[in-house]
Amino acid sequence: MLRSPYHGGHLEVIVGPMFSGKSEELIRRVTRAVIARQRVVVFKPAIDDRYHATHVASHSGRIVEALAVRSTEDVRAYLRGERPLLSEAAASPDVVGFDEAQFFDADLVPLALELASSGARVVLAGLDLDFRGEPFGLMPDLLARAESVEKLTAVCVVCGAPATRTQRLIGGQPARYDDPVVLVGAHESYEARCRVHHEVRRDQALHLHPL
């Protein structure tokens, strides 16, 4: 067994902007668990098919097998044995990994807590901020409940400083604030940037969130 500072199940959350190595760190942790002969299963959202449909892949090319799911209920179905896992060794897992956690529905939070309470080590990787620089979906809730949080940085493509933001570009120009947080099939690109060089166009009226 891998040594852990925590007794029993717990949550580990890995966050940062794009290109900060979140998936790489998730892969590293679950690979070590496999080497330690622990039962491991990894899930990823079906929306993320940039590299492999059945693997979590890092920008550096490292991969680990994963089950692509469309909802947290799909995850529950796999864990209940209603759908075939990648291997029998993944049944009653010691370690459950989730990549791109920000794309999962809100039910991932109670599921992660249930898994941790049952004794599993739950490792989740995802964007903590969306392209606007605002908290992304369920990530704040996961961060608040985690025993362990690792916040990674990338390198700002403008100045070389540590980057904490994800810059969305459409046609080479910064995206507008009112653009959807998740774009499917759009011709957008992304860069890592620091706070100073992160840009969001505000051509349209800004909708402020009430305090």
CATH number of the 10-152 domain? 3.40.50.300
pLDDT of amino acid 33: 95
Per-residue pLDDT at 160: 98
Domain definitions of the chain by residue range: 10-152
Give me the pLDDT at residue 47, please: 82
- Token pair, residue 172, equals 């080479």
185 is in an annotated binding site: yes
Gap between the terminal Cα atoms of the chain: 46
- 101 assigned to a ligand binding site: yes
Q: Check the annotation: does 22 bind a ligand.
A: yes
Residue 183, marked binder:
yes
**Predicted local confidence at residue 51, as pLDDT:** 52
All residues at 6 or more sequence positions from 54 whose CB lies less than 8 Å from its CB, including other chains: 65, 66, 67, 68
Compute the half-sphere exposure of residue 203: CA atoms within 13 Å on the CB side of its CA: 7
> Which positions are catalytic?
100
pLDDT at 64: 78
Successive 10-residue mean pLDDT values, the chain, 211 residues: 65 98 96 94 82 56 83 94 71 92 97 97 98 97 98 98 97 92 73 98 55 37
